[in-house]
Structure formats: C-alpha cells, structure tokens
C-alpha cells in the first residue's frame, strides 16, 4: 500500500515526464530518418570531411553491458575472459544481482540495479535508465550500450566513433526492421498522434553522444516511466525519444550485428572491420554464428573465445583450446 507521500511523489514525476514530452514535441520535428548505410571505411572518409570530428580514445567511451544474474556464468564470463580486457576501465556491467567474483574481476564496475530479474519491458527500461543516469555522472563523451550476447571489437568501435564529433548530437546504431515503426503515440493523452521512427536494436549495440543524452533531461531520469507510458521496450524507447522527441535521426552503422541477422555472412576477411557480433540458435536447432570454419561450439558456444583469438592472438588467452584446426 502506497502512502499519501508516495502517491504525491509519483504524481509529480508523471507531471514532469508529460511536461518534458510536451516541450519536446513543440520544439522538434516528428521524424528525420538517415539513409546512411555506408561501411566503416566510408564513414572514416565521411568523418574527414567533417571538420568537427575528433579523435576518440577508449577513455572517452562509456561502454555499458546489460545482463542478469542468471547469465553471469554463461554470458558474462566469456565477455570478461575476452574483449573486456581491451577496455576494463571503460566498461560497466549492469545487472540485477550482486556477484563478488564479477565485482573483483571488473574492479568495481558491476552496477547492481534495483530492477526485476525478468525480461519484461519494465525490467529492460529500468536497467536502461540506470545505464543512462550512471553515464551522466561520468565525464565520458560517448555512451555505448551492449547486450550480454555481444562481442565488442573495441578498436573498431573507437575508429568508428572518431568519425563523429562528440560535441554534436548523434544516435548511432542499426535497425532490425526494414521500415520505420509506426504507432499511435499516447503520451500526450487525450490527444493521440501517429508517429513513425527507426530504432537501433539493443542486440547490435548503439551509441549516443553526450549532448544528446544531456538534452534528454528528465526523460533520462524517468526513462522507465516513459517506456511504460508508450508501452515499448528499452531500445525502442531510446529510438522514440531520440527520433520523435529530440529530432535526432538514427545513423545506421552496418558493422554492428545482432543475433537477429544471419551472422554466417561475416567471414574471416571481414572480421577486423566489424564492431559487434553475436550468436543465437534457430528454431530448427541450427547455430547462427559467424562464418569461421572449425568453431568448436561445444567448447565455445558463444564463439567469443574463437573471435578474440582470431582478432587479438597477442593478448588472447588459452587460444590453443579454441583456435581452429
């Protein structure tokens, strides 16, 4: 049972969110879609023409990994054993469970949220709110979100972000749908309006520049409430806020990859340019993994050890157990 004070506090927070939504609508176009689908090399060339683009180091990036306690062993351990070692001071793990071993291995970069441990919209948006608010307490220029089934090629991420000015508003990601999502926006009830927008799927990873996150203001502090208001999960809510409310279009980065796409198209020759990779299993039991021959999926079900040994053999450990024969 909520006390009167709690009801008043909730009412005030709702008012703040609706007021911010109204202000955003009045000042921003409903939709701007980017058709930029160039590969990473073309993006570097494009960045050269942008005099305001700046060189980025890994210390400029806040890398956020969303996970849950039940996946600490199966998903988080391969991350900590592989690509995490390339950016340990720039990577934070957001979970719903305390874990002394993860805290030790990340040197305190495990953030235990007060979010539910399920995969509901409420839980997902709750964790995204924790990720964004924690980012704003840092001095980092870029916020990059990943799921716990992503392998991150850290140097490729740094190279890509160097093509964009961190002083401008950027929403970088990869859509998992072929056309903009259309919906009736009920956030301004009793008025409803039809809006359409793209969103960067969280399963491929996406990045936001600091000026954009800062302008989101109270929508960051009340992100979970916004997700509940529009009834959308976390990555879609980010797209809604960025494109519809802030007027910042999704710039698509084709070298981001999620488990939703056929990963076998990524072969050895392409590997070094890719920023994120993933894995999954189709309904018929076939494994959806990168197109490298000889992966031992019994030893390496995530493929992360094989990928890390292929990309960074000079720093990868135990490669004799996972390298292709």
Query: Is the entire prediction scored with pTM above 0.95?
Result: no
The pLDDT value recorded for residue 158 is: 98
The SS3 assignment for 120 reads coil
The pLDDT value recorded for residue 319 is: 87
CA–CA dist 96, 224 (Å, integer):
15
The pLDDT value recorded for residue 198 is: 97
Q: For residue 318, say if its preceding peptide bond is cis, omega within 30 degrees of 0.
A: no
CA–CA dist 197, 186 (Å, integer):
15
The pLDDT value recorded for residue 49 is: 36
Catalytic residue list contains 185 = no
The pLDDT value recorded for residue 12 is: 39
Instruction: Yes or no: say if 225 and 17 are a contact pair by the CB < 8 Å rule.
Output: yes
CA–CA dist 299, 319 (Å, integer):
12
| Burial group, residue 89, by CB count within 10 angstroms (0-12, 13-18, 19+) | exposed
- Catalytic residue selected from 235, 284, 296, 300: 235
pLDDT tens digits, 5-26: 444 344 434 444 444 444 444 4
| Burial group, residue 255, by CB count within 10 angstroms (0-12, 13-18, 19+) | buried
Please report, in tens digits, the pLDDT of each residue of the chain (325 residues total). Answer: 444 344 434 443 444 444 444 444 444 433 333 333 333 333 333 333 345 567 899 999 999 999 999 999 999 999 999 999 999 999 999 999 999 999 999 999 999 998 988 878 898 999 999 999 999 999 999 999 999 999 999 999 999 999 999 999 999 999 999 999 998 887 666 667 899 999 999 999 999 999 999 999 999 999 999 998 889 999 999 999 999 999 999 999 999 999 999 999 999 999 999 999 999 999 999 999 999 988 999 999 999 999 999 999 999 988 887 765 5
């Amino acid at each position: 049972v909520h006390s009167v004070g709690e009801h008043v506090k909730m009412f005030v927070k709702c008012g703040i969110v609706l007021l911010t939504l109204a202000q955003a609508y009045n000042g921003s176009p409903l939709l701007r879609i980017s058709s930029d689908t160039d590969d990473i090399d073309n993006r570097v060339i494009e960045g050269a023409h942008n005099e305001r683009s700046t060189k980025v180091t890994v210390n400029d990036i806040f890398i956020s990994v969303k996970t849950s306690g039940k996946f600490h062993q199966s998903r988080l351990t391969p991350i900590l054993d592989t690509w995490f070692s390339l950016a340990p001071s720039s990577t934070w793990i957001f979970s719903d469970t305390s874990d002394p071993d993860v805290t030790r291995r990340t040197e305190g970069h495990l953030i235990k949220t007060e979010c539910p441990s399920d995969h509901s919209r409420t839980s997902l948006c709750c964790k995204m709110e924790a990720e964004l608010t924690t980012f704003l307490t840092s001095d980092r220029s870029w916020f990059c979100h990943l799921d716990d089934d992503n392998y991150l090629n850290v140097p490729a991420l740094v190279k890509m972000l160097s093509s964009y000015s961190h002083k401008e508003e950027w929403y970088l990601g990869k859509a998992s749908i072929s056309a903009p999502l259309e919906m009736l926006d009920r956030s301004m009830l009793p008025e409803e309006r039809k809006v359409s927008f793209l969103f960067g799927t969280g399963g491929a990873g996406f990045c936001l520049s600091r000026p954009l996150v800062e302008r989101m203001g109270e929508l960051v502090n009340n992100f979970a409430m916004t997700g509940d208001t529009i009834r959308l999960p976390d990555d879609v809510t980010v797209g809604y806020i960025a494109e519809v409310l802030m007027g910042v279009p999704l710039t698509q980065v084709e070298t981001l990859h999620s488990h939703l796409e056929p990963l076998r198209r990524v072969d050895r020759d392409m590997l070094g340019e890719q920023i994120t990779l993933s894995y999954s299993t189709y309904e018929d039991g076939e494994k959806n993994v990168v197109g490298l021959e000889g992966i031992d999926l019994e030893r390496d079900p995530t493929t992360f050890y094989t990928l890390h040994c292929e990309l960074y053999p000079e720093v990868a450990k135990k490669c004799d157990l996972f390298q292709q024969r």
